[in-house]
Amino acid sequence: MKIGIFGGGQLGRMMALAAYPFNLSFSFYESAANCPSAPLGEVIGDKEASKASLDAFLASADVFTYEFENIPVAWVEHIAQHKPVYPSVKSLAVSQNRLNEKQLFAKLGIPAAAYHQVCSQADLQQAVDTLGLPLVVKTTMGGYDGKGQFVIRQAEQVAQAWSELQAGAPLIAEAFIQFNRELSIIAVRAQDGETRCYPLAWNTHHQGILSHSVVPAPQVDAATQAQAEQYITAILHELNHVGVLTLEMFQTDQGLYANETAPRVHNSGHWSIEGAICSQFENHMRAVAGLPLGSTQELRPSAMINIIGQHPKTSDILAIPEAHLHLYGKTERVGRKLGHITVTADCLDTLNTRIQQIAAVLPNKMAL
Ligand code: AMP
């Protein structure tokens, strides 16, 4: 079986690496020939997404998936008219638009920030008047790693927020959630509707980019894990989703609030390569290929630490017990995700010690 993957970044690379032992082969729809996935299969595509390139991609594989959601629905629809695409076009259309996501949360009774749709500066002013300050303004589509966002803290900032983001309109203005920390849950749904959930991850961001995740999130009670599982399972079934889906949430004194979904494997699940019985990448490929799902159970407490901007010395990382290095074959650039490190331990204390050992040898000394 050959699997065609929209996107050729590190997520596609790790999907292919996970399914390579099953003798599956891969093609990637990606305009950059030297992308992180290139060593794993055929790279097809051009920036304009010409019909010829989409047809060549269609011919290149039996089943299709995607590794990032900021692709035009029309490209995926073109493929879906002829061959299976998992997750479905519906999953993609909902997850790539924050308004659709919010409507989905409301329909399923999942708590989320109150919001207003914003199409003009007057709408934004009205959102400030009704939702209060601070107010988080976001583009409905295309934002990632904190890009396409503005937090209005003072009433005088309305015009500035509008002028900075109006090119991305329609916008969404959200009430500011006073959260204690950010958690995410990742789950997988098979073609027959079976679902399995990974333990909650505790995610810490630095300058809008995920810096590290700890799994299972410390001090999570069984009720919180169960609540998160209920939310994500409801979303998976509602979308008839096949493959991995991620739900990012805020933990507050009033419980969990949904922030956004990703219809794909997620950075906060990279720990699962070494930390779980079956990784998010392998489970996604199993679902897409129509194979039985693997166990999502964690093996040991794990942390995932992103390598951002500059590479560490490989030998420094590998000298740390239970540390595993994953590099994506990218060149260095400020703010760019170049790789990640997974580290495991038999208890949280030892895990924290190892996280600090890793922090000490990362070139751009992140506060971990
Ligand atoms: P997002 O792109 O939606 O994941 O937002 C990026 C980051 O902005 C999140 O990880 C939060 O730290 C913060 N953020 C987003 N939405 C809200 C909100 N409604 N209230 C408070 N903080 C938020």
The pLDDT, as a whole number, for residue 365 is 67
Q: Could you give the 3-state DSSP secondary structure of residue 244?
A: strand
What band does 241 get if pLDDT is binned at 50, 70 and 90?
Answer: very high
Q: Is the CB of 177 under 6 A from ligand 1?
A: yes
The whole-number pLDDT of residue 33 equals: 94
3-class SS of residue 279: coil
| d(CA 5, ligand 1 centre) in Å | 28
Ligand 1: centre distance to CA 341 (Å): 24
151 has a pLDDT exceeding 90: yes
In this prediction, residue 368 carries a pLDDT of: 72
pTM over 0.85: yes
Residue 243 confidence (pLDDT) above 70? yes
Helix H segments across 255-368?
272-275, 280-289, 314-318, 348-361
Q: Judge if the beta carbon of residue 101 lies within 6 A of ligand 1.
A: no
Compute the distance between CA of residue 94 and CA of residue 90 in angstroms, rounded to an integer.
6
DSSP three-state, residue 36:
coil
- Please give the Cα distance from 299 to 280 (Å, whole number): 14
The confidence score (pLDDT) of residue 367 equals 62
In this structure, of 20-29, 202-211, 257-266, 346-355, the range with the lowest mean pLDDT score is: 202-211
Nearest to 232 by CA among 202, 263, 203: 263
pLDDT at position 142: 83
Q: Is the CB of 321 under 6 A from ligand 1?
A: no
Give the distance (Å) from ligand 1 centre to CA of residue 204.
12
Distance from residue 35's CA to the centre of ligand 1 (Å): 29
Q: Name the nearest CA neighbour of 236 among 164, 200, 287, 274.
A: 287
- SS3 of residue 116 by DSSP: strand
Q: Given the structure tokens 């009720």, which residue do they identify?
A: 223
Ligand 1 and 210: CB distance under 6 A: no
Is-contact 31 45, C-beta < 8 A?
yes
- And the tokens for 23? 């003798």
Binning pLDDT at 50, 70 and 90, where does residue 364 land?
confident
Q: What percent of the chain has pLDDT over 90?
A: 93
pLDDT at 35 over 80: yes
Question: How many whole angstroms separate alpha carbon 341 and alpha carbon 307?
Answer: 7
Q: Over the stretch 49-85, which tens digit does the pLDDT of each residue have?
A: 999 999 999 999 999 999 989 899 999 999 999 999 9
Q: What is the mean pLDDT of residues 115-136?
A: 97
- Specify the ligand 1 atom closest to the Cα of 177: 20
| pLDDT for residue 342 | 98
Token digits for 214? 């700890």
**Least reliable range by pLDDT among 141-145, 252-256, 340-344:** 141-145
Q: Exposed, middle or buried: residue 292 (CB in 10 Å: 0-12, 13-18, 19+)?
A: exposed
For residues 84-108, average pLDDT: 97
Beta strands across the sheet bearing 25-29: 42-44, 25-29, 2-6, 63-66
Distance, CA of 315 to CA of 303 (rounded, Å): 19
Average pLDDT over residues 329-344: 96
Q: With 70 as the cut, is the pLDDT of residue 366 above it?
A: no
pLDDT in tens, 215-227: 999 999 999 999 9
Of ligand 1's listed atoms, the one at least distance from the Cα of 178 is: 21
Of the chain, the percentage scoring pLDDT greater than 70 comes to: 99
Of the candidates 244, 243, 174, 182, the one whose C-alpha atom is nearest the C-alpha of residue 210 is 182
Determine whether the shortest distance from the Cβ of 260 to ligand 1 is under 6 A: yes
CA 26 to chain centre: 21
Most informative mutation of 259, 260, 267, 268 for ligand 1 (most atoms within 8 A of CB):
259
Given a cut of 80, whether residue 146 has pLDDT beyond it is no
Contact 136 CB / ligand 1 (< 6 Å): yes
Mean pLDDT, range 112-120, rounded to an integer = 97
Q: Name residue 196's beta-bridge partners.
A: 188
